[in-house]
Amino acid sequence: MATDRTRWYTDVLEAALETKLLTEQDLLAHMTPSVLAKALPKDVLVRMFESALTSGSMSPKAVVQAATPQLLAEHVAPEVVWQCIAAAAEGAGISERESGKLKDEPNAREFLRRGLVSALASGVMTAKDVVEYIDASVIGHLPDTLTTKLLEAALGAGKLDPQLVVDTLGTEAIAKHAPTSAVWSCFVKAGDGWRISSREIIAEPPPPRPGTLEVMDDDVASVLVDLEDSGAFDPKLIEKPRAIEDFGKQKPKPGPTKRPV
pLDDT score recorded for residue 254? 55
Residue 196 pLDDT exceeds 90: no
| Summary mean pLDDT of the chain | 82
- Which is more confident, 31 or 254? 31
CB 85 within 8 Å of CB 15: no
pLDDT score recorded for residue 11? 97
pLDDT > 70 in the chain, percent: 71
Q: What is the dihedral of CA 29, 30, 33, 39, to 10 degrees?
A: -160
Q: What is the dihedral of CA 221, 227, 229, 233, to 10 degrees?
A: -120
Residue 233 pLDDT exceeds 80: no
User: Residue 163 and residue 150: Cα distance in Å, rounded?
Assistant: 12
User: Residue 135 and residue 138: Cα distance in Å, rounded?
Assistant: 5
pLDDT > 90 in the chain, percent: 66
- Which is more confident, 242 or 171? 171
pLDDT score recorded for residue 3? 80
| Number of helices (H), then strands (E), in the chain | 15, 0
